[in-house]
Amino acid sequence: APPRWHVVVQGTFTFLGVPKVTARLQEIPAGSNVDLDLNVDFMDHAAFDAVHQWRLAHERQGGRVDIDEVHEAWYERAVTGDTTPPGKTPPQTPWWAPWADRPSSDSPSDSGHLPASDLLLAGVRRYHDSTAPLVRPIMAELSMEQKPQNLFITCVDSRVVPNIITASGPGDLFINRNVGNLVPRHGAYPADDSVMATVEYAVNVLDIRTITVCGHANCGAMAALLAGGTEVKHLHHLTRWLEHGRHSIARFLGTELAANQSPLVHLCKINVIQQLDNLLTHPWLEHRVESGEIELVGLYLDLPTANVEILDRATGTFAPVPGEVPAGDRQDTRTPS
């Protein structure tokens, strides 16, 4: 495969920067594949023309150029002749895309089966190139203290990405992940303090006032519970951990399936309700909830549709998240710079 180059242009890109950028682009060998990240807040016509002419010439010589715009689609709009002011648009290769879907030499489709560690380090390099400069001011501000708004308990499943489904950033969520998003009950056997240690720290040290339990479709832990644990009985640690799901199974057996709902989907949702109830078996936390100090929230991620549903605790049913929050109810939790 031809060599691949990664070029990042950052800041304001005008005619003043054209000579330097053009000189660096000319150093790239003909026929190479190039990932060009335009991390720019403004691009004038001279800058666009320089990049576009270089791209056309490079591709005529057998190379390939993939241009990602992280901020605003200055280049894309110039190519298409769109003269309207640029708005925020997703880059051609979204930052949240799985490794295998990215047009890079680090993708298995380009270079065969790479070790997972190579993909991981390639992702770190990409983070350093494109994302780290953008989040550095936020991380510096948060470096000495965190003030998360929400304790988020969810599954370890790789398809569940809390910061994506809540549109949150650094410092927003205090996250606990475990197999099946389970919460051991007070005095439960086998004893496990890891989840409640997180809850205790979140509430008593970080002063978090909202605890969310988020389940998801096609949960392997729930499938194992449905099968009676027979499929995982050789996994001793997992088998012991899933004992904390037995109340979810009991609740499942005592309810009726909703129309057109599979047993697994039903259990995945029932499990969220049960884990919220499990939190209330801890006396100190139950008191905080009953006094209104702590709010409990249940969420369910439907993987096939990527939709998130919220639990109505009064009815025990899940429904689409309501529309836009009224302006008067919004809170800006950012610290002024």
Question: Which residues are marked as active site?
Answer: 155, 157, 159, 216, 219
End-to-end CA distance of the chain: 47
Instruction: Name, in order, each residue with C-beta under 8 angstroms of 168's C-beta and a sequence gap of 6 or more.
Output: 162
Query: How far, in Å, are 76, 149, 321, 337 from residue 173 at the CA level?
Result: 34, 6, 19, 21
Task: Name the nearest CA neighbour of 55 among 86, 10, 9.
Answer: 9
